Amino acid sequence: MLSRVYTNRVKGMALIALAVIAIAALVGAAVTALGSRQPDYGALRRAMVEDQIRARGIKDRAVLRAMAKVPRHEFVPTALRENAYEDHPLPIGDGQTISQPYIVALMTEALRIKRGDKVLEIGTGSGYQAAVLAELTPKIYTIEILPSLAKRAEATLKRLGYNSVRVRTGDGYKGWPQHAPFNAIIVTCAPDKVPQPLIDQLAEGGRMVIPVGPQDALGGQDLQLVEKHNGTVKVSSIAPVMFVPLVREREKP
């Protein structure tokens, strides 16, 4: 028979082994939990608004509220979500980008949108700009020439509850005449000149914000504010920017 001392030693070793296994399991669970923990996107969004947007002179309270509310990380690829609130554009696929947060706020503020305004966006992209606009007025019409992006943006907007945004696949240069005139038009891709169809579809007293110039323009493209008063068009410069080119239907591969 085994001695009592030996038996107790074996039991003791077994208990130690079980304890080691339990501790290892707890440590593993803790590591897994830490690895799967998501960033505090709300805190990142608030910091974005304070440090990147308000600090640079954006004052419109409605725009600041919209930027603080819309979950920008939902509009970028999953692998880039932790970078969603950084101070630069991000790729969204198909050679397109989601604009720098400050530029989104700057363009939105320049439009001076009032509740009830009808707004046309050219270049839906990820759908983020449309969501920001939808926080200001429910009448948002947005056009994207790339079907894959248009479909993805529409799905994201609906998933997040922006059901009033109307998304269409088409040539943004031509605008959306069936729903014109628009109180505001925002163009998030750059043509060589302001498209005449968009000027025609701008309502009396309307505003259009649009980047103009080639992508390789020395000093960047010119972000312009186009205003229509008494049938006369006034153009003023806002800031140098860099946007992807506006693609026409005939340029599609």
pLDDT tens readout for residues 9-54: 444 444 444 444 444 455 444 434 444 578 999 999 999 999 999 9
CA distance linking residue 90 with residue 92, whole number of Å: 6
Q: Which of 3, 36, 99, 148 is catalytic?
A: 99
Complete domains list, the chain, with CATH: 41-251 (3.40.50.150)
Q: Which residues contact 179 (CB under 8 A, 6 or more apart)?
A: 118, 120, 141, 166
CA distance linking residue 142 with residue 239, whole number of Å: 23
pLDDT tens readout for residues 162-214: 999 999 999 999 999 999 999 999 999 999 999 999 999 999 999 999 999 98
CA distance linking residue 119 with residue 215, whole number of Å: 25
Q: Looking at the DSSP assignment, which residues form a beta bridge with residue 184?
A: 119, 207
Q: Half-sphere exposure of residue 121, counting CA atoms within 13 Å on the CB side?
A: 30
pLDDT for the residue numbered 217: 65
Q: Is the dihedral of CA 138, 143, 144, 148 positive or negative?
A: positive
What would the two tokens of residue 148 be? 């894959």
Output the CA torsion 56→189→178→153 (10° steps).
-80
pLDDT for the residue numbered 162: 98
Q: Are 225 and 238 in contact (CB under 8 A)?
A: yes
- Output the average pLDDT for the chain: 88
CA distance linking residue 209 with residue 238, whole number of Å: 9
* Edge-to-edge strands, sheet with 139-144: 166-169, 139-144, 118-122, 182-187, 202-212, 221-229, 232-241
**148 is known as an active-site residue:** no
What would the two tokens of residue 11 be? 């039991």
The SS3 of residue 101 is: helix
Q: Name the phi and psi angles at 176, rounded to 5.
A: -135, 75
Q: Mind spelling out the 3-state secondary structure of 161-191?
A: CCCCCEEEECCHHHCCHHHCCEEEEEECCEC
Report the length, in residues, of the chain: 253
Could you tell me the pTM of the whole model? 0.83
